[in-house]
Amino acid sequence: MNQQFLKEIEKGSKSALVKKRIITHYIYNGSSTIPDLSKELDLSVPTVTKFIGEMCDDGYINDYGKLETSGGRHPNLYGLNPESGYFLGVDIKRFAVNIGLINFKGDMVELKMNIPYNFENSIEGMNELCKLILNFIRKLTINKEKILNINVNVSGRVNPESGYSFSQFNFEERPLADVLSEKLGYKVTVDNDTRAMTYGEYMQGCVKGEKDIIFVNVSWGLGIGIIIDGKIYTGKSGFSGEFGHMSTYDNEIICHCGKKGCLETEASGSALHRILLERIRNGESSILSTRIAAEEDPITLDEIIAAVNKEDLLCIEIVEEIGQKLGKQIAGLINIFNPELVIIGGTLSLTSDYITQPIKTAVRKYSLNLVNKDSAIITSKLKDKAGIVGACMLARSRMFES
């Protein structure tokens, strides 16, 4: 990828902006012919032909040969050159980090899941994360100079436009994106983890043309990603989707946000973890009882999910109760947004029907019939890869979307 072109994009020159629109079109639509492209971008065929010629010369568009048609001249098919640039995604979990690399076309080239990483919101935790990313890059066999952007998923309040993270790694008066860029030596963008999962699912998951979507991320915390008319909705400062912090319960449980009664305190992975420990300590039994008794090695959410899928009755009961509580609140979202699709994702979605059936039952009970019949409720197709796929895809689209 021509670094000069990237500088032109930053400056906003007219020709660079047209080329940027062409690349964005190919990102979302795959290969197409010059006549189709000129129609889509509302530009003349000679203008598009000129730009495509320049972009082929510069190496980021490929001529894929003649398109087979029935009669008439066969037009040439053009598309992104996969080797002209690479994008890195980083998805931070509580006890691990996932790192992936896609090529310019969006194919996953390298993926490392569950690299051990004990997340700590400290300078040491951030430095350890940077060490893991640089170690991943060092082992890559591609030309490292072709890595054009790294996108890091961060939980909590993140402003993707300014690059600030307000909940995690917020140690300086400048954007986290700039701090990470300095430490890694590459351009870095940051985004909210749930929004990245939503985008991953939209680009490469279970979305089949739907444009109005709510993605519910039930992991350690609880958040939603919102797509309206095919575009990710971020809100004024990038803070949309804080579903878990709706004040829903009159309980005395303090949420990690510092307030009491948040939905997240009763319907999330952290709630599942807390309730299971309480019930086992109160004498109820589970296949995890002896495991939980060994307090020096805290039980992880993944172990609880595994117990659910091994049909542990206590774990199943708690997950179903969480599903009912969630479904009641998702019914409210459906009444407000009237989405085509509600995707249940995140760690708890790996229990599949154990959580989705109670959600569907509660949605039918608490949402308006006319509204909910428009909304299909399905489980994430990408499962635990949604975040990393989304991180990689965002690393690419953030370079070329205005």
Tens-place pLDDT, residues 247-258: 999 999 999 889
- pLDDT above 70 for 4: no
Record the pTM.
0.92
pLDDT (tens digit, 9 = 90+) per residue, 98-114? Answer: 999 999 999 999 999 99
pLDDT band at 266; cut points 50, 70, 90? very high
Q: What is the pLDDT of residues 178-226, one digit of tens each?
A: 999 999 999 999 999 999 999 999 999 999 999 999 999 999 999 999 9
Residue 74 has pLDDT above 80, yes or no: no
Instruction: Report strand pairing: 158-159 vs 96-103.
Output: unpaired
Structural tokens at position 137: 């890059």
**Alpha helices by DSSP H, 172-268:** 176-184, 193-204
Q: Write down the pLDDT at residue 9.
A: 75
pLDDT of res. 293 = 85
Q: What is the mean pLDDT of residues 221-243?
A: 95
Question: Rounded distance, CA 346 to CA 221, Å?
Answer: 9
Q: Among positive and negative, which fits the CA dihedral 204, 221, 232, 160?
A: negative
**Count of alpha carbons within 13 Å of 49, Cβ hemisphere only?**
6
Span 347-384, pLDDT tens digits: 999 999 999 999 999 999 999 988 888 899 999 999 99
More confident residue, 372 or 288: 288
The DSSP code sequence of 77-146 is EEEE-GGG-EEEEEEE-SSEEEEEEEETTS-EEEEEEEEE----SSHHHHHHHHHHHHHHHHT--S-GGG
Higher-pLDDT residue of 79, 67: 79
Dump pLDDT digits (tens) for 116-161: 999 999 999 999 999 999 999 999 999 999 999 999 999 999 999 9
